[in-house]
Structure 1
Amino acid sequence: MLAGDKGRALAAKMPRDRVLTETDGPFAQVGGRAAWPWDADRAAEALSQIWSEPVNMVQRQLGGNLRRLTNSRAASE
């Protein structure tokens, strides 16, 4: 999604506190091989450029988003 102009434009409009990453692996390809979960770091690098933020800040935002999601799900169970 973040490789094309259309996907990058959509990502720029998304509320940052609602963004999570995923790889679509093993169906998606990265460098001619199946994507793995750790390839999601590439999304953080792309979001860093899109949001004009350092990669570590993007990673912190994404981690916080995941924690809020999992904590809210755990609280509702």
Structure 2
Amino acid sequence: MALSYKSRKRWSLVVLLIGLPLYIVVAVSVVNWLDRPPILVELLVYIVLGFLWMLPFKFVFLGVGQPDPDADE
């Protein structure tokens, strides 16, 4: 089931305003759980976690910055 442009735009706002801050808290908690690893390992963990959060939501963000294709000219 494909999402309409309006629903993708709304879901992208939900993901960015609610989901992303929650994910940041989880990512920081994971790094703290690792008992303060060396700086390069910590950086690598943040990069990997920063990339992984967007993979499940890729379909939500596709085309959100473009004009509404269903809008009248």
* TM-score class normalised by the smaller sequence: 0.3 to 0.5
**Larger proportion of strand:** 1
Q: TM-score, normalised by structure 2?
A: 0.33
- The higher radius of gyration belongs to 2
TM-score by length of 1: 0.32
Please state which structure has a larger fraction of its residues in helix: 2
Instruction: Give the structure, 1 or 2, with the largest relative contact order (CA under 8 Å, sep 6 or more).
Output: 2
